[in-house]
């Protein structure tokens, strides 16, 4: 088994079919797909039933949140490589094939991540997230690695203890920080792997100030990650570069054509 992909979900019936299809449409790759539904009351159950014969495992029962759902899903994972895809995001074609090729060309690599595309709740293109070469120092201090575009060896995840179920927001940052401080090798590839959807109900939008920032600070404290004043200036410059690069691609129409083609392939 090449990949195990876990989708935790709760009442995302409006978006989850696109998420499912983006995984099922990955070509030339052996994928175990696991969906963990925490007891949705919208149309999610109906949609999952529609794809039951193509989804390897569907777990539908109350849980204690996203981290608990992921713990259940990863406990069932058999793939050499794993990742998780929230039920309002989606993969781009060939993401898993490309990630597998990178892993197999570098046997010492523990995790690979690509770039992301931002869309709104109506699937309209917003901006791009094109990152530079990976550096542990910077990514330890700031949560810039795009979770939906990130895959890692299952063995590496198990070696560092898996998902911390006490996390409510920064569970991906916590896992990735733990990998970095334990000496795991991470690599960025300059390829679009996934689409991140910005919508009112998304955790990143609704919980960032109240839960997210305090929890990210606790992660830094837990792993003794110190931030000095120069790091804040570096983060501001880094964010500005991301915005300027996105503006450049949009202005010169370098990527929207690629996005439309890929998105259309998923929606066929």
Residue 64, classified by CB atoms within 10 Å of its CB into exposed (0-12), middle (13-18) or buried (19+), is exposed
243/229 Cα distance (integer angstroms): 22
For residue 257, what are the contacts with CB-CB under 8 A and spacing of at least 6? none
User: Would you say 5 and 95 are in contact if contact means Cβ atoms under 8 Å apart?
Assistant: no
The CATH number given to whatever domain includes residue 39 is: 3.90.550.10
Q: In the chain, what is the greatest distance between 2 CA atoms, to the nearest angstrom?
A: 54
**pLDDT at residue 249 in the model:** 80
168/185 Cα distance (integer angstroms): 26
Range of the structural domain that residue 142 is part of: 3-267
Length of the chain as a residue count: 268
**pLDDT at residue 248 in the model:** 85
User: Would you say 89 and 196 are in contact if contact means Cβ atoms under 8 Å apart?
Assistant: yes
H-type alpha helices, the chain: 16-24, 44-50, 66-75, 95-105, 136-141, 154-159, 171-181, 203-206, 213-222, 229-251, 256-267
What is the DSSP secondary structure assignment for residue 208, as one 8-state letter? I
Smallest Cα–Cα separation from 161: which of 147, 143, 188, 179?
A: 179
Token pair belonging to 12: 């995302």
Give 247's Cβ-side CA count (13 Å radius).
Answer: 6
φ and ψ at residue 71, rounded to 5 degrees = -60, -45
Distance set, CA 5 to CA 79, 85, 252 (Å): 9, 7, 34
What are the b/e assignments for 128-143, b being 16+ CB within 10 Å?
bbbbeebeeeebbbbb
Q: Which helix (H) or strand (E) holds 114?
A: strand 111-119
**pLDDT at residue 265 in the model:** 46
Per-residue pLDDT of the chain (268 residues; tens, 9 = 90+): 999 999 999 999 999 999 999 999 999 999 999 999 999 999 999 999 999 999 999 999 999 999 999 999 999 999 999 999 999 999 999 999 999 999 999 999 999 999 999 999 999 899 999 999 999 999 999 999 999 999 999 999 999 999 999 999 999 999 999 999 999 999 999 999 999 999 876 655 556 778 888 999 999 999 999 999 999 998 999 999 899 988 888 877 666 555 555 554 443 3
Domain total for the chain?
1
């Amino acid at each position: 088994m090449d990949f195990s992909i876990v989708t935790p979900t709760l009442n995302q019936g409006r978006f989850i079919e696109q998420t499912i299809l983006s995984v099922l449409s990955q070509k030339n790759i052996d994928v175990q797909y696991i969906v963990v539904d925490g007891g949705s009351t919208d149309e999610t159950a109906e949609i999952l039933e529609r794809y039951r014969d193509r989804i390897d495992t569907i777990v539908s029962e109350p849980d204690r949140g996203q981290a608990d759902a992921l713990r259940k899903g990863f406990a069932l994972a058999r793939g050499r490589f794993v990742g998780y895809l929230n039920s309002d995001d989606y993969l781009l074609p060939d993401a898993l094939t490309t990630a597998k090729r990178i892993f197999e060309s570098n046997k010492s690599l523990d995790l690979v991540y690509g770039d992301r595309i931002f869309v709104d709740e109506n699937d309209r293109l917003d901006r791009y997230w094109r990152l530079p070469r990976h550096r542990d120092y910077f990514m330890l201090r700031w949560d810039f690695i795009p979770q939906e575009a990130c895959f890692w060896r299952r063995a590496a995840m198990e070696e560092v203890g898996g998902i911390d179920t006490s996390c409510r927001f920064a569970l991906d940052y916590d896992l990735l920080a733990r990998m970095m401080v334990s000496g795991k090798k991470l690599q960025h590839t300059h390829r679009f792997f996934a689409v991140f959807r910005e919508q009112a109900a998304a955790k990143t939008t609704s919980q960032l100030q109240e839960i997210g920032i305090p929890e990210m600070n606790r992660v830094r404290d837990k792993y003794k990650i110190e931030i000095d004043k120069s790091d804040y200036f570096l983060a501001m410059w880094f964010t500005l570069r991301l915005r300027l690069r996105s503006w450049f691609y949009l202005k010169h129409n370098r990527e929207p054509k690629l996005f439309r083609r890929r998105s259309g392939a998923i929606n066929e």
